[in-house]
Amino acid sequence: MPDPDILFCVGATKAGTTWLYRYLHDHPDCALPAVKEAHYWDTFDADVRGRQVDAFVLRLEELRALRAEAAASGKGWQVDNVERRMADMTGLIAAVEGDRAGDRPYLEWLTGNRGSAQVYADMTPNYATLPDETLARMVALSPATKFVFLIRDPLDRLWSHIRMQARRQRQSHEVYEKKANNILYRILNRGQETHILERGDYPGIIRKLRRVVPEERLLILFTENMMRQEGLSQLCSFLGIEALTPAITQPVHQGPEVVMLDKLRPRALKLLNEHYEWVARNVGPLPQNWQDNRARMTA
């Protein structure tokens, strides 16, 4: 078997990785596991690995319950679908828990039993936080390994990430909108929730990726362009697959709309100004919504 084409989509968080996963999952030239985020490369630390395996095991139990419910309802097609997801999860748990020397179990999980495909992919945004040496190990996994890093308007990405955090942390007595703005306040005034900013540190992440990944094997793509034909064609050309019309044209996992407080918006833009400026200088012309938000900083 020739060396497989491996794609790592390394983020950014809340920048369209789920949309891209679904597009490639449905593409006839691609073979993606039923588990979007494998978390193999960010779980070499034993404690982190243990917590991730626990989360996978919990999800596996949920799938077992879903299979039983589908079987009881006579939904054979759903049973088959859930069993495929369970098989992928079981195989991933074995790879994450198993021998990491040479990464062969992971590669077999990612590419094995999926038929002949042009691209196999692992779409884990947290990989953007990995150190150089781990990224270099990923590059070496196959001579055809490629990386995509999606970049969304910095303010839109930040606010989307904050809203996701607020949904996950909100207690029953808390108001969602207030909690989201409180998180932003803590970021701006107390230097807290630093992981939210780290996931959108475009200058730092892109510098690192360009330092480690060969130029011809790295694509930095504006999320806003990816969902238009020109950007989709650029992506598919990079992957060597046909550019097909997507079945989904809107972003995935959009949270409920929450208004950012007017008094916080200018400060958030100021905090992100370096990102707008750096991307404009080092990546390419900014999409219109980037330009609009950038203009508000000087309005």
Measured from the Cβ of residue 19, the count of other Cβ atoms closer than 10 Å reads: 20
Q: Return the axis-axis angle of helices 154-169 and 176-190, rounded to nearest 10°.
A: 120
Q: Is residue 79 part of a domain?
A: no
CB atoms near residue 264 (< 10 Å) = 16
Assess if residue 53 is contained within a domain.
Answer: no
**Contacting residues for 43 by C-beta, under 8 A, at least 6 apart:** 49, 52, 96
As a whole number of angstroms, the distance between CA 204 and CA 201 comes to: 6
Residue type, 164: M
Count of the separate structural domains present in the chain: 1
CA dihedral 226, 230, 234, 235 (to 10 degrees): 30
pLDDT at 247: 79
Q: What is the pLDDT of residue 157?
A: 96
Answer whether residue 73 is part of any domain.
Answer: no
Answer whether 227's CB lies under 8 Å from 149's CB: no
Q: Does residue 77 form part of some domain?
A: no
Torsion, CA 32, CA 199, CA 217, CA 274, rounded to 10:
150
- The answer to whether position 173 is within a domain reads yes
Q: Domain for residue 74, yes or no?
A: no
CATH number, domain with residue 152? 3.40.50.300
Q: Measured between alpha carbons, how far is 28 from 19 in angstroms, rounded to an integer?
A: 16
Q: What's the predicted TM-score (pTM) here?
A: 0.93
Per-residue model confidence (pLDDT) at position 169: 87
Residue 150 lies in a domain: yes
Structural domain including 163 reads 6-44+100-296
CA neighbor of 110 nearest in space, from 253, 237, 9, 214: 9
Helix residue spans in the chain (DSSP H): 17-25, 46-72, 76-97, 104-111, 132-139, 154-169, 176-190, 194-198, 202-212, 223-226, 229-239, 265-282, 288-296
Question: Would residue 118 count as lying in a domain?
Answer: yes
Residue 127 backbone dihedrals phi, psi, to 5 degrees:
-65, -20
Residue 172 to residues 107, 163, 253: CA-CA distances in angstroms?
42, 16, 21
Q: What is the pLDDT along the chain (299 residues), one digit of tens a residue?
A: 567 799 999 999 999 999 999 999 999 999 999 999 999 999 999 999 999 999 999 999 999 999 999 999 999 999 999 999 999 999 999 999 999 988 999 999 999 877 779 999 999 999 999 999 999 999 999 999 999 999 999 999 999 999 999 998 888 888 899 999 999 999 999 989 899 999 999 999 999 999 999 999 999 999 999 988 999 999 999 999 999 998 776 666 666 678 899 999 999 999 999 999 999 999 999 999 999 998 887 66
| Residue linked to tokens 């630390």 | 45
Q: Which two tokens stand for residue 105?
A: 């179990």
Return the closest-CA partner of residue 126 out of 14, 25, 235. 14
Count Cβ atoms below 10 Å from residue 236 Cβ, excluding itself: 18
